Amino acid sequence: MSYSTAVYFAAYYGWLEKLAVVLTVLILISSLDDVFIDLWYWGRELWRKLTIKRSAEYQPLTAAQLKNRDEQYIAIMVPAWQEYDVIAQMVENMMSVLDYRRYVVFVGTYCNDQATIDEVERVRKHFRHLIRVEVPHAGPTCKADCLNWIIQAIFKHEAEHGIEFAGVVMHDAEDVLHPLELRFFNYLLPRKDMIQLPVTSLEREWFELVAGTYMDEFAEWHGKDLVVRESISGMVPSAGVGTCFSRRALLTLCADTQNQPFNTASLTEDYDVGARLAASDMSAIFARFPVQFRVHRKSGFGLGPDRDLVIDMPLCVREYFPDTLYTAYRQRARWVLGISMQGWMHLGWQGSLADRYLLFRDRKGIVTSLLNVLAYLVFFQFLGFYIAAKTGLWTLHFPPIFAPGSWPLQIATFTGLIMISRVVQRFYFVNKLYGWEQGLMSIPRMVVSNLINFLATLRAWKMFLNHLFMGTRLVWDKTQHHFPSAAKLAKQRKRLGELLLSWQAIEPEQLEAALDRQTEFKLPVGRLLLTQGALDDETLAEAISAQYDLGRAVLTRDAILAQHRRIPFEWCMRRRAFPFGQQDGLTQLAVAAPLDEESRLHMEELLGEPVRQYIARESEIAAGLRLLSGITDEFIADGKASLTDLMITQGLVDRAAFDQALTGFDLDRHGNLADYMIAKGVFTRENYAAVKELQHRQIPKQHVGHADPDAAEGQ
């Protein structure tokens, strides 16, 4: 290396040191902010452990207390733009797991997003308290716009059904909910005006570096930072999911905005709402209620055995976040743009000193995210010079700025110690939720996270400046969502009783009584509910149709008689099924409940062609069987429980004896089934007459009226 080149490199090294000093000071300033948050959190935890949690008055909230609170009506909002690949799974899983009855789900779709509309409509056939709200103009606009249309649908639903929702909950199309979520909100409403649950990432593989950064950051943000934020200022920013607004909060947000509570000028309407509620002195809480989650976890970085664990975690909303660099930085760019840049424009620096400090903390990232990556570049250049010096390639250099005992070196050392503290705390919070393997991986993932945030900040600045100077419209920047597979969720078809409870068609006590009697009488739970007068057969048929995704039978006298004698009557009686038509080479079969596989195959063998099953009401099946048996020449479905079921539940007939006698029944030889059973001694004529009188006096329960799903479409 020539002397002039050596002087050039020495001078360049000197300028690099000066830049390093500036970066070190700036990073130290940002780090002192983090140290303050750390000290506040750990000091608060220690104080609460030594005082509040040791006091005699301290009584932790329990799940039993949540379940003992009377249910209030709660609405759930799910805005959806191009969510056709996840929306059905999300809604089905949500309605399958929630341990709550008085809720209605409102899914907002756009008129030009037919794929998402079709998926919502498909699920809507199964769940009658799901309402699709159509945004009448083309999307994408922004999430706030979709939410505002949903709010209008909620108000309309209240007016049409004479109810008031105590709370409105925000969720996204990728959220996985805990069964106790609505019960927890119900317990705190209306005392709290905004309730925010923690948000966590579903577990990822250890080698998924980009997706893993969300595990790390949310574990620390929602494990520590939001706890501190609430205790310092009382202001809790909404995370956009797992947020419940009280009715009072919703009306306050609507009061000055012409019923448009969410700010359509912001891409982070959730953050904006939290700040506005704080300015209105609304009571907000970042809630942490301990619950248990079942998780499937690999051990030893995939080298050890898989484990099924039950872990203690705060009640939270879980979801999958983006798993590629491109999708991750695009999503975070929207967060940076909405929280830091648009928040600065719309909210300014209002509030108390604590509020302003937290606003500074939210907004410093538009600078520090760039500094972090610049610091990496400087560090690697220093590393290159160090290697060159050790190998003798670079020998000429000026006196170093970072000399032993100098203030720049002291600042750098102090900043380095703070960085070590950051690493230790990141490991602690990640290990707490995901185990030590993920805790270790969170250390290298900090570099990946800084790179994502750097790219996100650059994109946010570009979008913001284009909007500011070029008038470029800011729209909903779609993030491609993923939802856990059915296997991962261990999702099963919702049982009939649970479905009827969620429809509010029966009371829990009625279901419990029917289940208790099921073992004794060996009748399906739906038919037992009919004999109790707890349910009408139209609601039962709708529930079975929704449960198994089968169409409803449209029966007439002539259609039934046209298929007469195609299969033995005894078979129809035993399976409570009969053919009522033919279409496209298939026999249309009316059933009260789907046939098991063996019975279906036997039916197809008797008919000589495949069958398609349709759900009919219990009284329609009974009327059809009476018509086929010759007892009557009319087809009249009266909505009442069948005579046979009533006799069994009254203890007048033994189910096994009835089934055995039915095996020998022949319609042509014996004619009337009742006379045949009396002759066989299965029951007496007096008992038969008494039950007929009981059936005659039975008043069919009124069909349960549910929300008309079309009522909220189009505002």
pLDDT at 97: 84
pLDDT at 267: 67
pLDDT-derived band at 344, boundaries 50, 70, 90:
confident
Are the CB atoms for 183 and 225 separated by under 8 Å?
no
Q: Of 673, 117, 27, which Cα lies nearest the Cα of 374?
A: 27
Predicted confidence (pLDDT) at residue 180 exceeds the cutoff of 90: yes
Kindly state the average pLDDT of the residues 647-673: 78
Task: Give me the chain's average pLDDT, please.
Answer: 86
Helical packing angle, 353-363 and 226-233, nearest 10°: 150
- Intra-chain end-to-end CA distance of the chain, in Å: 76
Are the CB atoms for 84 and 115 separated by under 8 Å?
yes
Give percent of the chain with pLDDT exceeding 70.
Answer: 93
pTM over 0.85: no
Rounded Cα–Cα distance for residues 378 and 20 (Å)? 7
Rounded Cα–Cα distance for residues 300 and 206 (Å)? 10
Locate all alpha helices (DSSP H) within 550-617, ordered by sequence. 557-562, 569-575, 597-607
Rounded Cα–Cα distance for residues 13 and 20 (Å)? 10
What is the H or E stretch that residue 591 is in?
A: strand 586-591
Strand, coil or helix: 308: strand
Encoded tokens for 388: 């060159």
pLDDT-derived band at 477, boundaries 50, 70, 90:
low
What is the H or E stretch that residue 346 is in?
A: helix 343-347
Predicted confidence (pLDDT) at residue 685 exceeds the cutoff of 50: yes
pLDDT-derived band at 683, boundaries 50, 70, 90:
confident
Angle formed at CA 593 by CA 591 and CA 598, multiple of 5 degrees: 85
Is 287 exposed, middle or buried (CB count within 10 Å of its CB: 0-12, 13-18, 19+)? Answer: buried
pLDDT at 486: 47
Locate all alpha helices (DSSP H) within 595-672, ordered by sequence. 597-607, 618-629, 643-649, 655-663, 667-670
Rounded Cα–Cα distance for residues 41 and 377 (Å)? 32
Other C-beta atoms closer than 10 Å to the C-beta of 375 total 19
Angle formed at CA 151 by CA 145 and CA 154, multiple of 5 degrees: 150
State the SS3 of 196-212: ECCEEECCCCCCCHHHH
Phi, psi (rounded to 5 degrees) for 466: -65, -40
Task: For 29-83, give the DSSP string.
Answer: HHHHHHHHHHHHHHHHHHHHHHTGGGSTT-----HHHHHHSPP--EEEEEE-SS-
Give percent of the chain with pLDDT exceeding 90.
Answer: 41
Q: Of 151, 143, 183, which Cα lies nearest the Cα of 287?
A: 183
- Please give the single-letter amino acid code of residue 18: K
Strand, coil or helix: 131: strand
Rounded Cα–Cα distance for residues 405 and 402 (Å)? 8
Per-residue pLDDT tens digits for 6-41: 788 888 888 999 999 999 999 999 999 999 999 999
Neighbouring-strand partners of residue 319? 201
Rounded Cα–Cα distance for residues 252 and 193 (Å)? 10
Kindly state the average pLDDT of the residues 387-406: 82
Kindly state the average pLDDT of the residues 538-564: 88
Predicted confidence (pLDDT) at residue 661 exceeds the cutoff of 60: yes
pLDDT at 700: 67
Is 256 exposed, middle or buried (CB count within 10 Å of its CB: 0-12, 13-18, 19+)? Answer: exposed
Q: Are strands 290-298 and 306-314 parallel, antiparallel or unpaired?
A: antiparallel
Rounded Cα–Cα distance for residues 148 and 195 (Å)? 19
Task: For 255-280, give the DSSP string.
Answer: HTTTS--S-TT-S-HHHHHHHHHHHT
pLDDT at 259: 79
Encoded tokens for 575: 């399976």
Per-residue pLDDT tens digits for 558-590: 999 998 888 888 888 888 899 999 988 899 999
Neighbouring-strand partners of residue 313? 291
Kindly state the average pLDDT of the residues 327-337: 89
- Please give the single-letter amino acid code of residue 407: W
Question: What CATH number does domain 496-697 carry, 3.80.10.10, 3.30.70.3270, 3.30.300.160, 3.40.50.2300?
Answer: 3.30.300.160
Q: Output the CA torsion 570→573→575→579 (10° steps).
A: 90
The string over 146-163, giving b where at least 16 C-beta atoms fall within 10 Å of a residue's C-beta and e elsewhere, is bbbbbbebbbebbeeeee
State the SS3 of 208-257: CHHHHHHHHHHHHHHHHHHHHHHHHHCCCCCCCCCEEEEHHHHHHHHHCC
Residues 6+ apart with CB under 8 A from 530: 536, 537, 540, 618, 641, 645
Kindly state the average pLDDT of the residues 390-419: 86
Are the CB atoms for 688 and 673 separated by under 8 Å?
no
Are the CB atoms for 441 and 357 separated by under 8 Å?
no
Q: Is the peptide bond before 190 cis (omega within 30 degrees of 0)?
A: yes
Phi, psi (rounded to 5 degrees) for 573: -65, -45
Strand, coil or helix: 477: coil
Domain ranges of the chain: 496-697
Predicted confidence (pLDDT) at residue 699 exceeds the cutoff of 70: no
Per-residue pLDDT tens digits for 597-628: 888 888 888 888 999 999 999 999 989 988 88
Q: Output the CA torsion 514→516→520→526 (10° steps).
A: 20
Per-residue pLDDT tens digits for 196-226: 999 999 999 999 999 999 999 999 999 999 9
pLDDT at 674: 79
Are the CB atoms for 196 and 243 separated by under 8 Å?
yes
Q: Which of 43-52, 485-494, 638-647 has the highest mean pLDDT?
A: 43-52
pLDDT-derived band at 483, boundaries 50, 70, 90:
low
pLDDT at 710: 39
Encoded tokens for 542: 């709708």
Encoded tokens for 678: 């009396």
What one-character DSSP code corresponds to residue 700? Answer: P
What one-character DSSP code corresponds to residue 341? Answer: I
Q: Is the peptide bond before 140 cis (omega within 30 degrees of 0)?
A: yes
